[in-house]
Amino acid sequence: MRGAKSAKWVVGAAVIALAATACSSSDDSGSKDKAKSSSGSSDGIVRAWWGDPQNPLEPANTNEVQGGKVLDMIFMNLKEYDATGKAQLEAADSITTTDQQNFTIKIKPDLKFSDGTPVTSSSFVDAWNYGALVTNKQLNSYFFADIDGYKAVHPDDETAAPTAKTMSGLKVVDDHTFTVKLSQKFSTWPDRLGYKAFAPLPKEFFDNHDAYLKKPIGDGPYMIESYTKGASMKLVPNPNYTGPSKPKNKGVLLKVYTSSETAYADLQSGQLDVLDDIPAADLPHVKNDLSGRYLNQPAGIIQTFSFPMYKPEWSKPGMDKVRLGISMAIDRKTITDKIFGGTRTPAQDLTSPVLGAAGGYSTSVCGEACTYDPVKAKQLITEGGGIPGGQMKLGYNADSGSHKEWVDAVCNSINNVLGNNKACVGAPTGTFADFRNQITKGQMTQPFRSGWQMDYPLIDDFITPLYATGGSSNDSKYTNKTVDKLINQANAEPDTAKSIALYQQAEKQVLTDMPIVPLWYQNGQAGWSSKVSNVKENAFSYPIFTDITVN
């Protein structure tokens, strides 16, 4: 039969096809462990939503929340931020200075990593040197820029090779003592040390880097039991941990989800216990769905939009009035209520409520400039000569974060005030990468969306990188000598309260110049299942996993 003969060739081609794809079907060995690790909360384990970290889990290389969440659980830094965002000594016994420039750090004795090796002064010094060295390509290396000798390991010039491997400002005195020399006075520097880039690293990190990345080791409340990249991570309490945040549960299972909508469905059906990314579409009925097991509190994130101050049409004399007028033409309250369902809070300064009044948050510093006043706004814009070119195009990236809705709403608000529905329009850019490229290269000709997520809950983190001349995230390329001077004074001031007052003066000056328009503070949210209780979030909007109890 003719058909039978042809069939032989079909089989032959099929074999080739299978051979070509064979390399992709040989990974069933690990599936047994996986099935075990996805067991439920019945055994005291909290199952929580997770997104795939975008970078390897190295402390100095993690700059987004999903990796940060894990580092927060597996590391104890010299200082840690408590629930109110205040930095408390944890791994450090004492941090002392007499001149705000030279610090002596003493580590608590007998601290151990989860693999049993001791935490010593070199654990910190080596980790920081690794983070700063340019050839290690760590995204957070600039955190070490205040340490003396940083320029030698991390030259400004992109083509220059580092002239040293370690920073001269770090010196190990003995196993539990080391000294830090900063390049200039900086009184609140020790409070930065809670940021996870400053975490200590065990010898394994340097000796066997690849193995370390497969299963990172730390000195924090939890240790990693198993980690399947892109799928899940199981953490259990670290028996060597002696700090104050002992876990009140038997462990945490972080599950990577492809979308938060799916995670939400799982949360409702009892397949997931903690979800800290409630999908926007479900916000209106989240309280009902979860019978009130939901929290919504300010996070250390402020949303703004920036003016390209390097373009004369936006920075010439008179434009300050226009910029101020634009800020006053935005009805923040209505937009946060209608578009964001109350998950944003109208901004009243340039920081965040998580700092607290003592930390520098102020409800009065922006005042009238951030308050909706259509009459005055229109008057100011007209006096200043109107919007350059008769139209402003508010730039945003269209690929993530659903910015279109609020950009349109902001523009509508401005258009209503000016009685011209072409005065402000949204200008989308396809991808975040492209958008950021144009901004960092200073190619923006029109205002653009910007935002800031704090690294650590201190007012300096909301001011210095954003508004100091040449600041690392000064996207509008704003420059004002008064602001620079106030920031330097604040850094050198030993008294914290006085230092904060100086930062606030700088903030006041920035808001007078209005190179950026503060919009609103973003809130952190979380929903949880009936199987767990005591779910709270810290200043970074991470769930405080150590406190969660399984019912």
- Within positions 38 to 57, which residues make up the interface with another protein, using CB under 8 A? 38, 52-56
Minimum CB separation from another protein for residue 23, in Å?
Answer: 7
Pull the structure tokens for residue 489.
């004074």
Q: Interior CA angle at 71 toward 524 and 165, to 5°?
A: 130
Whether 455 contacts 85, CB under 8 Å: no
Sign of CA dihedral 493, 498, 500, 504: negative
Minimum CB separation from another protein for residue 151, in Å?
Answer: 10
**Is residue 469 at the binding interface for another protein, with CB under 8 A as the rule?**
no
Mask for 343-362, x = binds another protein (CB under 8 A): --------------------
Among residue numbers 2 through 21, which ones bind another protein (CB under 8 A)? 2-3, 5-7, 9-10, 12-14, 16-17, 20-21
Minimum CB separation from another protein for residue 532, in Å?
Answer: 19
Mask for 147-166, x = binds another protein (CB under 8 A): -------xxxxxxx------
The one-letter code for the residue type at 388 is P
The 3-state secondary structure of 403-469, one letter per residue: CHHHHHHHHHHHHHHHCCCCCEEEEEECCHHHHHHHHHCCCCCCCEEEEEECCCCCHHHHHHHHHCC
Minimum CB separation from another protein for residue 364, in Å?
Answer: 26
**Is residue 310 at the binding interface for another protein, with CB under 8 A as the rule?**
no
Q: Which is nearer to another protein, 37 or 101 (CB)?
A: 37
Minimum CB separation from another protein for residue 370, in Å?
Answer: 20
DSSP single-letter state for residue 401: T
**Is residue 130 at the binding interface for another protein, with CB under 8 A as the rule?**
no
Mask for 187-216, x = binds another protein (CB under 8 A): --------------------------x---
Among 90, 146, 219, 266, binds another protein (CB under 8 A): 266
**Is residue 339 at the binding interface for another protein, with CB under 8 A as the rule?**
no
**Is residue 25 at the binding interface for another protein, with CB under 8 A as the rule?**
yes
Among 35, 98, 288, 419, binds another protein (CB under 8 A): 35
**Is residue 495 at the binding interface for another protein, with CB under 8 A as the rule?**
no
**Is residue 261 at the binding interface for another protein, with CB under 8 A as the rule?**
yes
Pull the structure tokens for residue 343.
């998950």
Q: How far apart are CA 542 and CA 80, in angstroms?
A: 14
The one-letter code for the residue type at 395 is G
**Is residue 436 at the binding interface for another protein, with CB under 8 A as the rule?**
yes
Choices 102-110, 318-326, 374-382, 428-436 (CB under 8 A): range interacting with another protein:
428-436
Q: Which is nearer to another protein, 2 or 481 (CB)?
A: 2
Per DSSP, the chain holds a count of helices (H) and strands (E) of 19, 19
Among 113, 195, 305, 452, binds another protein (CB under 8 A): 452
Q: How far is CA 411 from CA 336, 370, 378, 467, in A?
A: 14, 16, 14, 25
Q: Are strands 344-346 and 222-228 parallel, antiparallel or unpaired?
A: unpaired
Mask for 219-238, x = binds another protein (CB under 8 A): ---------xxxxx------
Q: Interior CA angle at 68 toward 179 and 157, to 5°?
A: 60
Q: Which is nearer to another protein, 340 or 435 (CB)?
A: 435
- CB under 8 Å to 438, separation ≥6 — which residues? 429, 444
Whether 332 contacts 372, CB under 8 Å: yes
Among 93, 142, 341, 445, binds another protein (CB under 8 A): 142
Minimum CB separation from another protein for residue 38, in Å?
Answer: 5
**Is residue 285 at the binding interface for another protein, with CB under 8 A as the rule?**
no
Minimum CB separation from another protein for residue 67, in Å?
Answer: 9
Whether 347 contacts 516, CB under 8 Å: no
Q: How far apart are CA 427 and CA 405, in angstroms?
A: 12
**In degrees rounded to 5, what are phi and psi of residue 102?**
-105, 120
Whether 475 contacts 439, CB under 8 Å: yes
State the residue for tokens 């704003």: 478
Among 285, 400, 481, 551, binds another protein (CB under 8 A): 400
Collapsed DSSP state (helix, strand, coil) of residue 336? helix
How many residues bind another protein (CB under 8 A)? The answer is 86
The one-letter code for the residue type at 336 is T
Q: Which is nearer to another protein, 209 or 498 (CB)?
A: 209
Among 363, 472, 482, 512, binds another protein (CB under 8 A): 472
Q: How far apart are CA 455 and CA 464, in angstroms?
A: 12
Question: How many other CB atoms are there within 10 angstroms of residue 137's CB atom?
Answer: 10
DSSP single-letter state for residue 44: S
**Is residue 401 at the binding interface for another protein, with CB under 8 A as the rule?**
no
Among 83, 96, 137, 244, binds another protein (CB under 8 A): 137
Q: Which is nearer to another protein, 185 or 293 (CB)?
A: 293
What are the helix (H) ranges across 77-187?
Answer: 121-132, 150-153
DSSP single-letter state for residue 308: -
- CB under 8 Å to 416, separation ≥6 — which residues? 374
Collapsed DSSP state (helix, strand, coil) of residue 274? strand
Whether 371 contacts 363, CB under 8 Å: no
Q: Which is nearer to another protein, 74 or 95 (CB)?
A: 74
**Is residue 134 at the binding interface for another protein, with CB under 8 A as the rule?**
yes
Among 434, 469, 530, 533, binds another protein (CB under 8 A): 434
**Is residue 243 at the binding interface for another protein, with CB under 8 A as the rule?**
no
Minimum CB separation from another protein for residue 154, in Å?
Answer: 6
The one-letter code for the residue type at 298 is P
Choices 29-37, 101-109, 122-130, 418-426 (CB under 8 A): range interacting with another protein:
29-37
Q: Which is nearer to another protein, 4 or 497 (CB)?
A: 4
Among 64, 99, 110, 368, binds another protein (CB under 8 A): 64
Choices 27-35, 177-185, 327-335, 339-347 (CB under 8 A): range interacting with another protein:
27-35
